C-alpha cells in the first residue's frame, strides 16, 4: 500500500514503557501496510499519572490520569490515534472514542522482583506496590507482609528496591519484556497471583467517526485478545470497580467458549471470593461478577459500589 499523504500521528504517554508500546504499534502498522517507519509520527505527552508520584491513583483521579491528555488530543484532532496499556483504560469510555484494535497479548503474569518466591521472603517483609489488587493478594497469602506505596515507572521502582526501601516488588511481566528486561524477576503463575483485567494487552484508540483510521487499524486487530479483554472488562464493569477495588480477572479463548477466572478481595486480604465460568460471549463476564458479589460479605461488596 502507498504511504499516507501525510504522516499519521500516534499519541502516546512519554514514559519508557509507553514509548516501547508505541513503537510496537508503529511497527505492526507499517508491516501490515508495507510502509516505511516515517509514515507514522510518535507524539508523546506526559500524562497526569506520570507527574503525580507521591499518592495512590485513587486519591487523585484514578485511571483517567493515564488517558485524559491523550483523549483531549484525539478530540481536538492533534493525533489520529493513541496507544494505551488496556490495564490502565477506564471501563467506561467516551462514545466518541473507540478501541479499534489490540495487538496480540503478551505475557499476562506478574513477576516478583527481590526474592525467588513469596514464601522465601522473611516474616514482616516490606512489599512495594501501588496496586490494590497486588496488595490484597499478597496479604491474603502472607498477612505478615508490610505494604509500601510504590509509584513511578519500572526503572524508578527497581531503583527504590535496589536502595533497600523495600524487600521485594511486583511488576507486570509484559512491561519488563517490552523494556528488554525479561531476565528481571520471577514469574508468578496465575494460580498464585491472578493478573489484573486486561494485563499484557495494548489497545489502539481512534475517534469513532474516523472510518479511514478504523479501517487501517483493523488490519492489526488480534481477535482473540480483543475477545478475552472484552470479557474481563465486562466482568469489571459489572462489579462497578474503581481504582480502590482489589480485583483480578483472566480470560482465555477455548474451543468451548471464553474461560474466565475472576477474583475480588478486601484490601487487607482477609476475604477473597474467586470463581470461574465458561462464557458464550464476552458480555457474559457480568454473570461471574454477579456470582462473586452474591457470595461476598457486605464489607467486600462495599468496595464494589454495592
What pLDDT sits at residue 152?
A: 80
* Residue given cell 474461560 in the structure block: 259
What pLDDT sits at residue 92?
A: 85
What pLDDT sits at residue 62?
A: 45
Give the pLDDT mean for 141-161.
Answer: 92
Give the pLDDT mean for 148-160.
Answer: 89
Q: Is 167 a catalytic residue?
A: no
Give strand ranges (E) for 122-280: 126-128, 146-148, 168-172, 186-188, 202-207, 247-254, 257-265, 272-279
Whole-prediction pTM value? 0.91
Torsion sign across C-alpha atoms 303, 93, 71, 157: positive
Is-contact 136 266, C-beta < 8 A?
yes
State yes or no: pLDDT of 271 exceeds 60. yes
- CA 19 to chain centroid: 15
Residue 76's alpha-carbon distances to 14, 69, 173, 265, in angstroms, are 19, 11, 34, 40
What pLDDT sits at residue 1?
A: 60
Torsion angle in degrees (nearest 10) through CA of 262, 153, 96, 28: -90
Which helix (H) or strand (E) is 9 found in, with range? strand 8-13
C-alpha to C-alpha distance for 38 and 178, rounded to whole angstroms: 22
Candidates 50, 71, 80, 88; catalytic one: 88
Q: What is the mean pLDDT of the chain?
A: 91
Pairing of strands 168-172, 110-113: antiparallel
C-alpha to C-alpha distance for 272 and 296, rounded to whole angstroms: 8
Amino acid at each position: 500500500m502507498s504511504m499516507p499523504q501525510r504522516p499519521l500521528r500516534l499519541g502516546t504517554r512519554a514514559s519508557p514503557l509507553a514509548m516501547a508500546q508505541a513503537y510496537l504499534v508503529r511497527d505492526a502498522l507499517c508491516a501490515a501496510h508495507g510502509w516505511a517507519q516515517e509514515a507514522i509520527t510518535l507524539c508523546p505527552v506526559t500524562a497526569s499519572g506520570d507527574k503525580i508520584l507521591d499518592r495512590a491513583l485513587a486519591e487523585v483521579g484514578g485511571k483517567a490520569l493515564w488517558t485524559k491528555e491523550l483523549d483531549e488530543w484525539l478530540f481536538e484532532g492533534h493525533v489520529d490515534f493513541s496507544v494505551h496499556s488496556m490495564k490502565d483504560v477506564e471501563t467506561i469510555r467516551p462514545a466518541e472514542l473507540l478501541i479499534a484494535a489490540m495487538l496480540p497479548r503478551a505475557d499476562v503474569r506478574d513477576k516478583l522482583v527481590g526474592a525467588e518466591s513469596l514464601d522465601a521472603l522473611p516474616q514482616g517483609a516490606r512489599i512495594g506496590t501501588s496496586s490494590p489488587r497486588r496488595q490484597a493478594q499478597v496479604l491474603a497469602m502472607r498477612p505478615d507482609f508490610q505494604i509500601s506505596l510504590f509509584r513511578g515507572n519500572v526503572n524508578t521502582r527497581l531503583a527504590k528496591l535496589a536502595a533497600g526501601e523495600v524487600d521485594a516488588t511486583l511488576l507486570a511481566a509484559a512491561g519488563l519484556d517490552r523494556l528488554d528486561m525479561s531476565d528481571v524477576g520471577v514469574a508468578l503463575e496465575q494460580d498464585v497471583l491472578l493478573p489484573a483485567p486486561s494485563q499484557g494487552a495494548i489497545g489502539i484508540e481512534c475517534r469513532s467517526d474516523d472510518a479511514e483510521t478504523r479501517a487501517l487499524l483493523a488490519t492489526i486487530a488480534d481477535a482473540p485478545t480483543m475477545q478475552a479483554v472484552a470479557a474481563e472488562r465486562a466482568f469489571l464493569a459489572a462489579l462497578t470497580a474503581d481504582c480502590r477495588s482489589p480485583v483480578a480477572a483472566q480470560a482465555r479463548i477455548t474451543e468451548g467458549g471464553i474461560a474466565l477466572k475472576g477474583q475480588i478481595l478486601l484490601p487487607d486480604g482477609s476475604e477473597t471470593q474467586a470463581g470461574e465460568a465458561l462464557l458464550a460471549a464476552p458480555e457474559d463476564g457480568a454473570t461471574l461478577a454477579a456470582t462473586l458479589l452474591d457470595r461476598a460479605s457486605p464489607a467486600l461488596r462495599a468496595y464494589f459500589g454495592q
